[in-house]
Amino acid sequence: DQQVKQNSPSLSVQEGRISILNCDYTNSMFDYFLWYKKYPAEGPTFLISISSIKDKNEDGRFTVFLNKSAKHLSLHIVPSQPGDSAVYFCAAGGSQGNLIFGKGTKLSVKP
């Protein structure tokens, strides 16, 4: 049973607009949630994280929102740029190091 779900395999957005990537989880015991970005032929790159005790974290153009009651988090990218085109993975875990990833969402930002 998937503990971390990204239900949209792909998303296409126009340059300059907002990209919203969504993620749902089932385990309320997760301590942290993270977003990773992955280009082909490279390892995933850590983007932004949020603690389970917070509901928002912002870093430049990237903001992650956490709704614990809905077991849902989202990544907002504003404004979207063509260089943001990549696969984005949502991940959840605890302090032990057992980080669980979703299946990923491929974002395409069109000029």
Q: Is residue 10 a contact partner of residue 22, using CB atoms and an 8 Å limit?
A: no
Question: Which CB sits closer to other proteins, 90 or 109?
Answer: 90
Residues 52-111 that bind other proteins (CB under 8 A): 89, 91-104
Q: How far is the CB of 49 from other proteins (least distance, A)?
A: 6
Q: How far apart are CA 23 and CA 35, in angstroms?
A: 10
Binds other proteins (CB under 8 A): choice among 7, 27, 31, 78: 31
**Can residue 45 be called a binding residue for other proteins (CB under 8 A)?**
yes
CB atoms within 10 A of CB 71: 16
